[in-house]
Amino acid sequence: MADPTGQQVRRNRARRLAISRLNRAKSQIRTLIMGLNPVITADVVISNQSHDYQLTDFQQEQLILAANQSIESALEVSGDSPSDDWLYSDQVEGAYRQSTLEEVRDFNSNVAAAIVAGTALTLLQSEPIQTENIILSQQYREELRKARIASFAAVKGVSSKASAQVSNRISAGIRARVSRTQIISDVSDRFDVAKSDIRRVIDTEINTAFNNAKLEATRQISNLTGLRSAVVHISALSTTTRPNHASRHGIAYTVEQQLSWWDGNANRINCKCSVRSVLIDDSGDIINKDVQEQFKQESEFFR
């Protein structure tokens, strides 16, 4: 499974959006720096010129402020919380919604397969779960809001770090009396770091939204139907998969176990893994063994 969450298109779209907006901020900051008019005095050594920017403290503060605002507004993190049409709302909500719909479908198909197989199930409701039951619930809206806030906070973290580093390079350059070109080059290096940070954060946040939605839906549907569920860990099993992620592939865990594993030891960072729910009978055995077997066989294939 190259991409167990199946969110690559959303991740790439969000990445492209972030990178092009960061490039715009970089070019705005470049313009700000080129707008400065330092007095250049040549040193005895020809190559060693001194650029005296002659800025008052206030002017320098305004320059730094403008640079920070460029970065903040590029990533749309100026406020304290995300608006409904925040930059990545579509991607995060899209991932969350898709995952919930998939879980409803998987759960209904698990129940149908168990009934066909003659497994005795005690259901609180005999009708298949309707997606509206979940999507329109207060709980769903609340969890979705949390996902949006969490991703906003993560992107804001990237913005704050980038702003601090860019400001630092500008101030240091002015203090050291280096050329505008040199300051721009230093700033550009910090933007490279910011781009790598935002790619990681976007991948992590979109996959986290998808996986949390799945676990939340599994839990919610279990409560609605009275049926016990577990989740089978699905790893990408790629060359970059961490061994402690790959070793979980095909193994079933409770929703709580899976959540606490993901939330520990930076396991979420750059994690491509996902889960698939299965039903559990009264004695704690997995009813939908075939679902689990399917993933285990894939793991054999990749070994």
**Residue nearer to Zn ion on the CB measure, 180 or 214:** 214
Neighbours of 61 (CB within 10 A): 11
| Backbone φ and ψ of 291, nearest 5° | -65, -45
- 87 near 76, Cβ under 8 Å? yes
Minimum CB separation of residue 153 from Zn ion in Å reads: 21
**Residue nearer to Zn ion on the CB measure, 3 or 186:** 3
**Residue nearer to Zn ion on the CB measure, 108 or 292:** 292
Site of interaction with Zn ion (CB under 5 A): 245, 271, 273
Residue nearest to Zn ion (CB): 273
Q: Tell me the DSSP string of 253-298.
A: E-HHHHHHHHTSTTTTTT---EEEEEEE-TTS-BS-HHHHHHHHHH
**Residue nearer to Zn ion on the CB measure, 21 or 233:** 233
CA distance 267 to 273: 10
Longest C-alpha distance within the chain, in Å? 92
**Residue nearer to Zn ion on the CB measure, 7 or 225:** 7
CA distance 72 to 76: 6
Minimum CB separation of residue 269 from Zn ion in Å reads: 9
Minimum CB separation of residue 268 from Zn ion in Å reads: 8
Minimum CB separation of residue 165 from Zn ion in Å reads: 29
**Residue nearer to Zn ion on the CB measure, 166 or 271:** 271
Give residue for tokens 């989740």. Answer: 231
The interaxial angle of helices 89-116 and 138-175, nearest 10 deg, is: 140
Minimum CB separation of residue 300 from Zn ion in Å reads: 19
**Residue nearer to Zn ion on the CB measure, 67 or 154:** 154
Minimum CB separation of residue 46 from Zn ion in Å reads: 55
Neighbours of 20 (CB within 10 A): 10
Q: Kindly report the CA angle at 126 between 123 and 132, in degrees rounded to 5? A: 110
Instruction: Compute the CA torsion angle 98, 270, 86, 70 (nearest 10 deg).
Output: -160
Which tokens belong to 174?
């002015």
Minimum CB separation of residue 4 from Zn ion in Å reads: 8
